[in-house]
Amino acid sequence: MRTDGLSINLATVRQQWNLVEAVEACARHGIKAVDPWRDQVAAVGLDVAVRAIKDNGMQVSGYCRGGMFPAADAAGRQAAIDDNKRAIDEAAALGAQCLVLVVGGLPAGSRDIGAARRMVADGLAAVLPHARASKMPLAIEPLHPMYAGDRACVNTLKQALDLAETLGDDVGVAIDTYHVWWDPELEAQIARAGRARRIFGYHICDWLVPTKDLLLDRGMMGDGVIDFQRVRGWIEQAGYTGLTEVEIFSAANWWTKPGDEVLRTVIERYNATL
């Protein structure tokens, strides 16, 4: 079984282990990369997290997450910008390959998605100098449109790439199959992202039918309807040679199983996508 090229988004085992335990478990299973979440880092402390990652020789495929730029007033928008700068600093300390951005939805009380999208563009522009100074690439993750109201008003790969292009270099995309598998433009937009060298991350998990919870019922690869070999072919064709990150939030299934069983299954199913 291959584990090269595989990264574990640590949300996948967040109910089983803290960050240090999860990193050690990945190392035991021969996995050489992780993507931690900010709350997981905060729970053990940044220094402890950095040491666990270094001691276990882990690459950090990304850091989850920044974003959440729209807010009802200027003070809220500034607070988001300040928080993103802290996230950039943490990502740099961890040696992350990018900061993953879930850009945010509509501020409370708003019905103006256009305004929310402008706030996202403005927020990104405001944090970009700090990201550049820290040599931390920003990866916009388009989210499935079911999250446009509360989590991300950037919903397609095309939209994310359009935004990245207006901002310039050092801004790219994280392509997550859960969010974009349905998009009729996916193949063309992956090719476009590759030409522009803007694929900073590739996340996989499956779309279950039915999906019983919009946030916490992501599927293990092979249990749903996504054709991973096809999408992987497009990603490879686009020139992406980076890590493939498995990211599964699964409150009723995988989060209830022993962590070692989850990692064993991830490795098996990852191999089937190659």
Residues that bind Zn ion (CB under 5 A): 176, 203, 247
In this complex, which beta carbon is closest to Zn ion, that of residue 12 or of residue 84? Answer: 12
In this complex, which beta carbon is closest to Zn ion, that of residue 77 or of residue 173? Answer: 173
In this complex, which beta carbon is closest to Zn ion, that of residue 94 or of residue 100? Answer: 100
Helices 74-94, 113-133: axis angle to 10 degrees equals 40
- Least distance in Å: CB of 55 to Zn ion? 26
In this complex, which beta carbon is closest to Zn ion, that of residue 120 or of residue 139? Answer: 139
- Least distance in Å: CB of 114 to Zn ion? 25
Spatial CA neighbour of 69 closest among 142, 135, 153: 153
- Least distance in Å: CB of 158 to Zn ion? 18
CA pair distance 140, 180, nearest whole angstrom: 13
Hey, what amino acid is at 41? Answer: V
CA pair distance 271, 274, nearest whole angstrom: 5
CA 69 distance to own-chain centroid = 16
CA pair distance 153, 145, nearest whole angstrom: 8
Q: Supply φ then ψ for residue 114, to 5 degrees.
A: -65, -40
- Least distance in Å: CB of 51 to Zn ion? 26
Hey, what amino acid is at 4? Answer: D
- Least distance in Å: CB of 83 to Zn ion? 19
In this complex, which beta carbon is closest to Zn ion, that of residue 90 or of residue 141? Answer: 141
